[in-house]
A and B are shown apart, each in its own frame.
Chain A
């Protein structure tokens, strides 16, 4: 695989292009061309397809898209391009396993395939959603350690304020916050008797490179991982490249993130699926990633649980996991929040479709991940139970189950309730959900089992 120095060279010396021209004159027409050329068609009544040929065509289309379009660097206004040979070599050289965690929490992350009965890696927690105070940050991180037995790793929240000050990206307040949360998170996991549990989304509070790097020195190790995101669509700036340079230099694990937007430059579900497959290749060659983290998201609904995004996610994750050995994680954002019935239907459909398609799971975003304090350990715990229960389920069976689940919730997505906050539906002192939340979970679980959902 080409070196990261070579990637930097191309970011600095690639072809000059205006940002809007990259989107409208390079990406959009090429995406339309490959969707047509490879015959990629959205199947509304098949949210979880099981057509291997379709999955492979999605991958080929994604490969051609990335080969011909490349990746845009807004800071240099240049396009990074890679040859077909370089891309093929990168796919061959991509890492297939990474050891994470320490002591009793040490695990090896390996790739899965569609229909696999290998339990998916459960990267559980907040998905970077925002918590209001340091006290709640510590509390919920400790609760993750004690209440998520299926967690292989943790996704920490983002901190909104400390010492009475709002954290603000690009200021010293962000740097201080990033340093504080690293210590708070590790201390909380120690208090929860799972000190070796890796934090894999380092550092959600940090939006800038300097904050991420500064915060990392306060207790993260090479057995944690760092998430570095593409900007939609197919863009990566110097700050993210700075972070990659730092992670590579320290020997840490790197997760390349992408979130193709349905309704944006990728267009509809077909375009999103192809773009998603292309992002896998970008993660390998341009980011030197150890795994991909993806979440095709619906522009208007702000969640990953819409029928169109579930299809695009499912077929593209199948494309990736059939044609590459890089482990693939899928993020899950439900529109509904904690203490709502609909959350469980949404999340079950989303997680099942990820697992049977060959993905590992990252969960859980509740209330779209946008409402402060609207998450508890209950939602990721449920996601883990669905994920483990779904290992070994076939795509055909999953398609039936997901179809039934969609019928329950899809008309409610546009008016989704954000539900309740951590403090409202979780007993912080006892570290357990309130009885009302337990009762709701038990009632919905019974219905979910009747609909064909398997809970571990």
Chain B
């Protein structure tokens, strides 16, 4: 494929994501595949680049949650076509990791968690959103089932904060705490609480949290030695 044609297709893919135009995404993706274009470049220079634009505009207050969701849905539609083709060609995508997010038991607030989930998608995570009022058991079992790299727990009420601790304590009890980066967030969550319960990460805003998730998961993957058992005990 000629370079200018590929650049035009990448621009179409970027535009499809930034405007939430799913028909355009499907059309441009089909043309990339049909014309034997560079599939990885279509993802990185087209779709992912579009997601990055939307994420940056959200952070500047120029875009809002519906547009983040719309961009992520468009991204997913295109990826459903491109990903099998990439695998067929023997390639592989760079992913930030697999993230499991949810609002803890007893708490039904969702918007902060929704935004965090979308910003993780923007940054290349495969995100599984368990929703609200998620039990300890669901967090622990789904993380194992999905092979999660990161568990993100949101809480908006002070009286639901103990549920964040319960999940971490249970991971420790089961001896699997070292498998995951655990992040906590929400209105009443601050760094001292995160440290007290043995979470790996906390940030003031969803944007900072998503950035931190990328870094922590990358660091975890780079470190081959397992966490020491005393990490669990330090949460007390």
Query: Could you tell me which A residues sit within 8 Å of B by CB distance?
Result: 19, 23-24, 28, 74, 130, 158, 160, 166-171, 174, 205, 207-208, 231-233, 237, 261, 263-268, 271, 299-300, 302, 368-372
User: Do B69 and A24 touch across chains, with their CB atoms under 8 A apart?
Assistant: yes
Q: List 23 A-B contacts (CB under 8 A).
A: A130-B158, A167-B159, A168-B106, A169-B107, A169-B157, A169-B159, A169-B160, A170-B105, A174-B159, A207-B159, A207-B160, A208-B106, A231-B110, A264-B65, A264-B111, A267-B64, A267-B65, A267-B66, A299-B112, A300-B207, A369-B187, A371-B190, A372-B188
For the residues of A in contact with B, the DSSP-based class is loop
A302 touches B187 (CB 8 A): yes
How far apart are the CA atoms of A231 and B131 in the complex, in Å? 14
- B106 A268 Cβ-Cβ under 8 A: no
Q: By the criterion CB–CB under 8 Å, are A231 and B159 in contact?
A: no
Query: What 1/0 flags go to B95-122 for Cβ under 8 Å of A?
Result: 0000000000111111110110000000
Known contacts A168-B163, A268-B64; 11 further A-B pairs (Cβ under 8 A): A19-B131, A74-B108, A130-B188, A170-B106, A174-B159, A205-B159, A208-B106, A299-B206, A300-B205, A300-B207, A372-B188
Judging by beta carbons under 8 Å apart, are A263 and B61 in contact? yes
Q: How far does the Cβ of B219 sit from chain A's closest Cβ, in whole Å?
A: 26
- A74-B108, A265-B66 in contact; A370/B159 too (CB < 8 A)? no
For B61, what are the chain A residues with a Cβ–Cβ distance below 8 Å? Answer: 263, 300
Question: Which residue of the partner chain, among B58, B109, B160, contacts A231 with CB atoms under 8 Å?
Answer: B109
B160 touches A370 (CB 8 A): no
The A-B contact count (CB < 8 A) is 89
Q: Nearest 8 CB-CB pairs, A to B?
A: A169-B106, A170-B106, A130-B158, A267-B64, A264-B111, A370-B187, A28-B66, A169-B159
Q: In the bound complex, how far is the Cα of B193 from the Cα of A315, in angstroms?
A: 38
B157/A264 in contact, CB under 8 A: no
* Number of B positions contacting A (CB below 8 A): 32
Known contacts A167-B159, A169-B159, A263-B61; decide if A232 and B66 are in contact (CB<8 Å): no
- B81 to chain A minimum Cβ distance, whole angstroms, is 22
In the complex, chain B residues whose CB is within 8 Å of the CB of A368? 187
> B66's contact among A24, A171, A208, A299, by CB below 8 Å, is which?
A24
Please, how many angstroms separate the alpha-carbon atoms of A160 and B64 in the complex? 33
Whole-angstrom CA separation of A174 from B88 in the bound complex = 55
How many Å from the CB of A19 to the closest CB on chain B?
Answer: 8
The B179-236 residues at the A interface (CB cut-off 8 A) are 187-188, 190, 205-207
**Pairwise interchain contact B115-A263, C-beta atoms closer than 8 A:** yes
Contact indicator B205/A207 (Cβ below 8 Å): no
CB contact under 8 A between A264 and B187, given known A158-B159, A207-B107: no
Which residues does chain B contribute within 8 Å of A160, judged by CB atoms? Answer: 158-159
* Interface flag for B162 (CB, 8 Å): yes
B residues near A237, Cβ cutoff 8 Å: 108
Query: Complex formed: what's the CA distance from A158 to B69 in Å?
Result: 34
Q: Which residues of A contact B115 (CB under 8 A)?
A: 263-264, 299
| Residue with the greatest number of chain B CB neighbours at <10 A, chosen from A23, A233, A368 | A23
Within the complex, the shortest CB–CB distance from B160 to chain A, in Å, comes to: 5
Nearest B residue to A208, CB-CB: B106
